[in-house]
């Protein structure tokens, strides 16, 4: 009887869902486990040790990875900051400034970096900088990252702004607040969760990027993904697994924080 009335149940779906989870997590867990392997060979598991973590921080290639991490972080912070500012301005224009000429084309333009395949963007950017004679390096990576981070910052900010009714700002203006004050004191605080999640998304996307960076980085400048790719090309050594584990844990901490942040926000809204 109860079997007949449960319309939300399909036999086998749960098993396939669990299979999905297994396929997603098995490789990550394996790499985490093997990063604590004492053996130099990646095929056999000897005993637990932190040997390869010491190698990452103090070993032969430590300098290279430290420099790459520094480059990655500075570029990601720069790109996320600039693209978040650009995206915030754009979303105010799109959602709070009434009609204007070119509005219809603005949304496709803002989402263009999502529609063009990454490798095509990479080729176009490389050719562009070479055509105008701009030397590849930190600056070219930064510019390229700002461009493709814009939609990732824009979408959460615009989504948040859509859920904020404009009556609050209208009320403020009825009480003679200037437009700057109504933005600074009313809209901005309400918008903050959207801005923060837009910034975090842009930051992660920039940190994650390999293809575009690989094309526009020029000789000598490495970010963490390009450095790891270069090292992994010669075979997956245990120190690569240690770095991967560190990055993986960083990502998980990051996304957990942003989830918790979002949950606290929605709880507040409910009260």
Nearer to another protein, 23 or 175 (CB): 23
Rounded CA-CA distance 257/63 in Å is: 30
**Considering only 48-56, 58-66, 73-81, 139-147, which stretch makes contact with another protein by CB under 8 A?**
139-147
Max CA distance (Å), the chain: 75
Conformation bin of residue 223: beta by default, left when phi > 0, alpha when psi is -120 to 50: beta
Pick the closest to residue 193 from 150, 148, 151, 163 (CA basis).
163
Report the residue number, 62 or 124, with the smaller CB distance to another protein: 124
> 4 to 33, contacts with another protein by CB under 8 A?
4, 7-10, 12-14, 16-17, 19-21, 23-28, 30-31
Per-residue contact track with another protein, 231 to 260, x per CB under 8 A? -x---x---xx--x--xx--xx-xx---x-
Binding residues with another protein: total (CB under 8 A):
106
Q: Quick one: which segment of 46-54, 55-63, 73-81, 157-165 binds another protein (CB under 8 A)?
A: 157-165
Question: Binding to another protein by residue 265, rule CB under 8 A?
Answer: no
Residue 196 binds another protein, judged by CB under 8 A: no
- In terms of residues, how long is the chain? 271
Convert residues 76-95 into a mask of x (bound to another protein by CB under 8 A) and - (unbound).
---------xxx-xx-xxxx
Site string for another protein, 100-119 (x = CB under 8 A): x-xx--xx-xxxxxxxxxxx
Q: Which of 266, 231, 228, 219 is nearest to 248 (CA)?
A: 228
Q: How many CB atoms lie within 10 A of CB 147?
A: 17
Distance CA 216, CA 128 (A): 10
């Amino acid at each position: 009887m109860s079997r007949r009335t449960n319309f939300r149940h399909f036999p086998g779906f749960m098993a396939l869902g669990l299979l999905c989870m297994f396929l997603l997590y098995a490789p990550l867990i394996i790499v985490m486990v093997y990063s604590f392997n004492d053996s130099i060979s990646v095929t056999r598991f000897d005993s637990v040790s932190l040997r390869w973590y010491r190698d990452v921080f103090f070993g032969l290639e430590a300098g290279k990875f430290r420099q790459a991490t520094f480059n990655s972080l500075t570029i990601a912070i720069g790109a996320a900051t600039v693209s978040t500012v650009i995206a915030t301005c754009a979303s105010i224009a799109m959602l709070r400034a009434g009609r204007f000429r070119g509005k219809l084309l603005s949304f496709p333009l803002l989402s263009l970096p999502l529609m063009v395949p990454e490798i095509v963007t990479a080729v176009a950017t490389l050719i562009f900088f070479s055509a105008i004679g701009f030397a590849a390096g930190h600056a070219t990576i930064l510019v390229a990252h700002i461009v493709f981070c814009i939609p990732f910052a824009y979408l959460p900010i615009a989504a948040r702004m859509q859920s904020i009714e404009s009556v609050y700002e209208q009320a403020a203006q009825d009480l003679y607040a200037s437009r700057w004050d109504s933005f600074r004191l009313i809209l901005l605080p309400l918008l903050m969760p959207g801005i923060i999640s837009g910034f975090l998304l842009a930051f992660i996307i920039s940190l994650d990027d390999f293809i575009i960076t690989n094309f526009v980085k020029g000789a000598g400048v490495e970010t963490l993904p390009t450095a790891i790719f270069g090292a992994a090309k010669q075979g997956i050594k245990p120190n690569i697994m240690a770095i991967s584990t560190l990055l993986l844990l960083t990502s998980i901490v990051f996304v957990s924080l942003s989830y918790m942040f979002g949950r606290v926000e929605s709880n507040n809204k409910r009260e």
